[in-house]
Structure 1
Amino acid sequence: MSRFTSVSPYQKWDVRFGNRPHGIDTTVRKYQLTPDQLERLRNGESLDDILKDCESVKGEKDVSNKKIDLTVEEYVEMHKKGMGDSEIAKVKGITNQQLYSWKYFRKGHIKRALEQEAQQEIASTLEESETQAMLQESIATEETQSDSIEEDDEGIEWLKREAIHAHKMLTEKEKEVEHWKELFETAMADKERLHKENLFLENHVQRLKESISELTERNERYFASLTRLEQEVKGLRLYALQKLHMDVYGA
């Protein structure tokens, strides 16, 4: 007869977790990030570092609430003088974080102002270089005009000497070309003669090969005849020996 499985009272009814301490902090903390902090988070900076900076800035709350007395033109002028952001913030009595936030909301104006300054510097540099070039050109023109007559005469004489020297060199090169042409024609004639000799030797070698083949065949025929004759001589010797034995001793 089957029996029902008994269940202890402790295992009945709803699930109970007990009152034992589990060591889990269930406190809910809320953080609201500023636009600057959100930009830092998007750029890949960790949230812990951003929150640490936020806690460190809490001690400077009075300073952070201070209004920033700085214009885009002043910032560009200081940047043009070679001052860094930390130096500019120190001069204006603000923190680096405040200056970063101020730059973030005005980055378009700052970029345009810097481009205008760069274009002005380039234009001024071009004007100075053009002025210097014009001055140098005028000085060179004056010096050239004073020495142009003497230099022209000397240049004509030098060109005459160069023309005579070039003509001599051309004549020598033509002679050298003729010499090399003769050598080339001689080499080609020798090549043709050697080619004919090579053909003649090849034909002679072919004839010698044919003669060797013919002599080899003749030698084989002679050797076969010699073998046959030796056999006949051997037979005749045996016959003569037998005949002599019969004549002397009788049958």
Structure 2
Amino acid sequence: MATLTKVSPYRSGPPRFGNRPHNIDTSVKKYQLTPEQLERYRNGESIDDILKGEEHEVAKKIDLTVEEYIDLRRQGFSDAVIAAIKNITKQQLYNWKSFRKEKIAQLEEELEQQQNESQETVKNEPADSETITEDAGEDAGIERLKREAIHARKLLAEKEQECERLRQEVEHYKELFETAMEDKERLHKETIILENEIQRLKELVNELRERKDQSEENWADATRELRALRLYALQKLQKDVYDE
């Protein structure tokens, strides 16, 4: 007679997967690739190498710390304004943030905790609340003025560079204008010389024409005299021959 296999109560019932951690990261990471990065990914390059290289390029090009970024954000500046202050594109700032999002979130959380603790301290010490608020407002105003001064200094440097470029262009056009005026003066003198030469040649032509007319008259007179001399010589020859 067959015997039935006993199943323990632990193995009966629905399957259980347990609560042991398996060190598996189930979070979903999103990356926004630029057209150049997408082309590199299509060519077979791994996403890790692309992002590492991008992280190196961003760190090399962007002179911005996490503390400075959070400070600017807390002052009310948007990412577009921060990118303009740092002379970078919004895409570069986005890539910079994507590689530091954990540190940014951690530092924001710490600042939030410090702010909450400060608020609790202010509540517990009402006598000094107004002084602390005024000091905090003055510090924030000073920091804002510092940022505005830095931004204004950068704009001033850009305007000075633009003015220098325009000054160089003006100098270049001034040199071209002076060269054109010198060429104009030289051509004017050459024109005067050529007009004088033309006048002299006209006078020479008139003189030669007069000499030609005089020569033709002299030639006509000489021809008539020659004809008369021939006739006289013929008559004298006939007279001498026939009179003999």
- TM-score normalized by structure 1? 0.38
